[in-house]
Amino acid sequence: MTKTDIVILAAGKGTRMRSQLPKVLHKLAGKPMLTHVLDAANAIADAHKIVVTGHGADIVRQTYPESAFSMVKQSEQLGTGHAVKCALGELRDQAKVIILYGDVPLITPTTISKMLAAVDNDHISLLTIELPNPSGYGRIIRDNQGQIEAIVEQKDANHEQLDIHEVNTGVMALTAELLHAWLPKIGNQNAQGEYYLTDLIAIARGAGYNINGIQPTSASEVEGINSRQQLAALERTYQLQLAEDLMASGTSLADPARFDQRGALSAGSDNFIDINCLFEGTVTIGSNVSIGPNCQITDSHIGDGVEIKANTVIEQSTIGDGAVLGPFARIRPGTQLGSNTKVGNFVETKKAIVGNGSKINHLSYVGDAELGENVNVGAGTITCNYDGVNKHKTEIGDNSFVGSNSTLIAPVSIGQDGFVAAGSTISSEVPVGHLAVGRAKQRNIPGWKRPTKNN
Ligand code: UD1
Ligand code: CA
């Protein structure tokens, strides 16, 4: 038996979120909770995924226009057993089935695999955990041999059962065949008038099957979210795990509690990240990189030995080895900085290709531009890339020098070794090696008298 069907329950309303958005679409680490579960499910080879939706089914569908999962609608939420029953038609013959939850986002592929490995024709598996405070959860009832024999919901439990600290996480795995056989047998004669999936355990025992109790690697894997407070708490737990993984791989963090990763971050070794940095999307960092406080880096690659100073924002860009950026640099999409480049304070770049060793140190806008090597762009230089309708390109050759406060009106090019006098407005080509002076000539007027005050 190698086929795996993964049923993800996501029909609940999530009343306590007080939101128009279905609960499972609320984000953890920048990604909807349901996406976390789907990603874990995707790590299981050949798994067929079935998402059971109810409240906000259309929004869930629209959120995943191309995702390879089936969706079944549970129009009325009559309980977890009823929810899984809605998915029966999607299960494949001879598949092993695992039940996951769209609001339990941190389940890992390792635990899913362990659960599936413990299923065979006469074993079902159940994910349980010991909690210091088991309140609210279904309690695990074991016989005097220690075998799991039933789950009793909190609201149906007697005093003795309420003292049990081993609880049901809700995650269960068994064959499709047994689900087909047993789900129709579940009734709703209980305190909540719901069809409890948990009743399967007693049914399984009654039919002579054994239940393998499996435990997760960490409690966060089975933490379910019902409120924004719980979501924020799990976010911190998860961020701390990501911070620990990063440190374990050779990057130092000034404070692991002030680090946020929303996406995939990979880093070499001997990097240092100061407080309050945020990494989004796919970010790769080389080695010996130093990142100052309050930086935001999105979908970018940072080369070796780069120094990024405080309050720098980098999006969809590539930063060459040994570059120095910031403080307060804004590197917008399509920027490619060569090695040993410098982009200083209050400089904005966009679609700018900057050759090795070039410098834009102060107060500039460089957009839709291609700079050669060892170019020096003086303070306050602006590429006027937009004529009000179209964007145009500025090209600056190797070893050129652009004096401070120049405006370069694109399309325009400055040849290699070109020199632009400070304060110039450049609207036509500067040939190789020329000096361009594009400003009004200074006149000095001798004997000038200051105006005097009228009475
Ligand atoms: C359930 C378990 C309980 C376990 C707990 C772990 C049952 C009867 N009880 O209780 O033993 O300790 O989870 O968190 O299974 N859902 C649907 N359709 C429904 C009902 C629920 O999709 O008709 C989904 C909900 O969206 C939610 C999940 O199933 O994601 C759990 O449902 P909920 O009613 O919250 O179960 P609990 O009472 O927490
Ligand atoms: Ca309930």
**Among protein residues, the one whose CA lies closest to atom 31 of ligand 1:** 80
Ligand 1 atom nearest 167 alpha carbon:
12
Residue 455 in this model has a pLDDT that exceeds 90: no
Tell me the one-letter amino acid at 254. A
DSSP string, 94-153: T-EEEEEETT-TT--HHHHHHHHHT-BTTEEEEEEEE-S--TTSPEEEE-TTS-EEEEE-
pLDDT tens-place string over residues 200-225: 999 999 999 999 999 999 999 999 99
Distance 119 CA to ligand 1 centre (A): 22
Bridge partners (DSSP) listed for residue 369: 352, 394
| Whether residue 294 has its Cβ less than 6 Å from ligand 1 | no
DSSP letter, residue 79: -
Distance 196 CA to ligand 1 centre (A): 8
pLDDT at 13: 85
pLDDT tens-place string over residues 292-325: 999 999 999 999 999 999 999 999 999 999 999 9
pLDDT tens-place string over residues 394-437: 999 999 999 999 999 999 999 999 999 999 999 999 999 999 99
Tell me the one-letter amino acid at 359. K
Estimate to the nearest angstrom the gap between the alpha carbon of 211 and the chain centroid.
36
Distance 129 CA to ligand 1 centre (A): 16
Report the alpha-carbon distance of residue 206 to residue 245 in Å, rounded.
44
Q: How confident is the model at residue 66 (pLDDT cuts 50, 70, 90)?
A: confident
Ligand 1 atom nearest 53 alpha carbon:
22
pLDDT at 55: 87
Report the alpha-carbon distance of residue 135 to residue 138 in Å, rounded.
9
Report the alpha-carbon distance of residue 242 to residue 265 in Å, rounded.
9
Q: What residues contact 21, with CB distance under 8 A and at least 6 apart?
A: 56, 59
Distance 419 CA to ligand 2 centre (A): 74
The CA-atom distances, in angstroms, between 252 and each of 235, 243, 256, 268, 314 are: 21, 9, 9, 11, 20
- In degrees and rounded to multiples of 5, residue 57 shows phi and psi of -55, -40
pLDDT tens-place string over residues 322-351: 999 999 999 999 999 999 999 999 999 999
Q: Which ligand has the nearest atom to the CA of 107?
A: 1
Q: Which ligand has the nearest atom to the CA of 13?
A: 1
Instruction: Look up 36 and say whether it is catalytic.
Output: no
| Whether residue 74 has its Cβ less than 6 Å from ligand 1 | yes
| Whether residue 55 has its Cβ less than 6 Å from ligand 1 | no
**Among protein residues, the one whose CA lies closest to atom 17 of ligand 1:** 11
The pLDDT of 215-236, averaged and rounded, is: 97
Residue 1 in this model has a pLDDT that exceeds 60: no
Distance 79 CA to ligand 1 centre (A): 7
What are 332's two structure tokens? 């917008």
Residue 2 in this model has a pLDDT that exceeds 90: no
Cα-based torsion angle of the residue sequence 380, 386, 388, 389 in order, rounded to the nearest 10 degrees: -170
Residue 150 in this model has a pLDDT that exceeds 60: yes
3-state percent breakdown (helix, strand, coil) of the chain, nearest 5:
20, 35, 45
| Whether residue 32 has its Cβ less than 6 Å from ligand 1 | no
Given the residues 55, 82, 301, 362, the one annotated as active site: 362
pLDDT at 210: 96
Report the alpha-carbon distance of residue 153 to residue 351 in Å, rounded.
59
Instruction: Tell me the average pLDDT of the chain.
Output: 97
Q: How confident is the model at residue 389 (pLDDT cuts 50, 70, 90)?
A: very high
pLDDT tens-place string over residues 79-107: 999 999 999 999 999 999 999 999 999 99
Q: Which ligand has the nearest atom to the CA of 195?
A: 1
| Whether residue 138 has its Cβ less than 6 Å from ligand 1 | yes
| Whether residue 168 has its Cβ less than 6 Å from ligand 1 | yes
What are 178's two structure tokens? 């047994």
Q: Which of 340, 56, 84 is nearest to 197 (CA)?
A: 84
Structural domains present in the chain: 3-222 (3.90.550.10), 228-436 (2.160.10.10)
pLDDT tens-place string over residues 7-38: 999 998 899 999 999 999 999 999 999 999 99
Percent of the chain with pLDDT over 90: 97
Report the alpha-carbon distance of residue 51 to residue 71 in Å, rounded.
5
